[in-house]
Amino acid sequence: EIVMTQSPATVSVSPGERVTLSCRASQSVSTNLAWYQQRPGQTPRLLIYGASIGATGVPARFRGSGSGTEFTLTISSLQPEDFAVYYCQQYNGWPPALTFGGGTKVEI
Amino acid sequence: QVQLVESGGGLVRPGGSLRLSCAASGFTFSDYYMGWIRQAPGKGLEWVAYISTAGGTEHYGDSVKGRFIITRDNAENSLYLQMNSLRADDTAVYYCARDLTAVVAAGYFDNWGQGTLVTVSS
């Protein structure tokens, strides 16, 4: 099983600042990686897939990068609604095996 | 507008069974792979199961393999999760989710239901 490790577990930032979240895979997943946002009391929302492709309706301030085992999600100029938990998720093609990272909480 | 509505959650004793349902609308259900993802209280996300468009192929996370069964009824636009031999650590909100792309599995989920809570306790 591919293990996804996110860091840091929690990051404290101020509105308007930039933050970079990390996700590491225990073995290469190529660019088969997604990022999700989960606000308190809400369901997860797909932000990025294919490591760097923005999902429909996602603001340009969310940018994903990386390949292989190292990935980052950068949020430039944090907005109040961006304070949430962010999860990475890998998809290992066939047979399908999907695993999520433990999440990073972005707090004020 | 895509809508996914889960039902069937509740309190069940360890060793018991429960069947979750997910009613889909707003898209051509039979064109999409579908999945179940769960989230224990205060914890992160865990993939549970994944099913192909016609239902001929299913895949499971290691923690539920051999105990849970995912099925679908394309005529009824419905997804199901039969959960057997339930344990306390199966306690979670269970989400039904749609794959990102039609026909071919993308492995990402762009639409999620609101979830249904399953509590396993004596």
Q: Alpha carbon of A81 to those of A16, A40, B79, B85: distances in Å?
A: 12, 10, 32, 40
Q: Which residues of B touch A32 (CB under 8 A)?
A: 107
Is the pLDDT assigned to residue A93 strictly greater than 70? no
Q: Give the three-state DSSP class for A97.
A: strand
CA dist B33 and B54 (Å) reads: 8
Tens of pLDDT, residue by residue over A25-59, are 999 999 999 999 999 999 999 999 999 999 999 99
Q: What is the pLDDT of residue A11?
A: 96
pLDDT of residue A70: 98
- Among B46, B47, B112, beta carbon nearest to A43: B112
Per-residue pLDDT at A82: 95
How many Å apart are CA B48 and CA B13, to the nearest integer?
20
Q: Does B115 touch chain A (CB under 8 A)?
A: yes
pLDDT of residue B39: 98
Q: Do A96 and B108 touch (CB under 8 A)?
A: no
Q: Which residue of A has its CA nearest to B48?
A: A98
The alpha-carbon gap from B106 to the nearest alpha carbon of chain A, in Å, equals 8
- Count the neighbouring beta carbons within 10 Å of the beta carbon of residue B54: 9
Q: Chain A partners of B59 at a C-beta cutoff of 8 Å?
A: 95-97
Rounded-to-integer distance, Cα A49 and Cα A68, Å: 14
* Number of residues that this document lists for chain B: 122
In this complex, is the C-beta atom of A41 within 8 Å of any C-beta atom belonging to chain B?
A: no
Specify the pLDDT at position A45.
98
pLDDT tens across the length of chain B (122 residues): 999 999 999 999 999 999 999 999 999 999 999 999 999 999 999 999 999 999 989 999 999 999 999 999 999 999 999 999 999 999 999 999 999 988 888 889 999 999 999 999 99
pLDDT of residue B105: 83
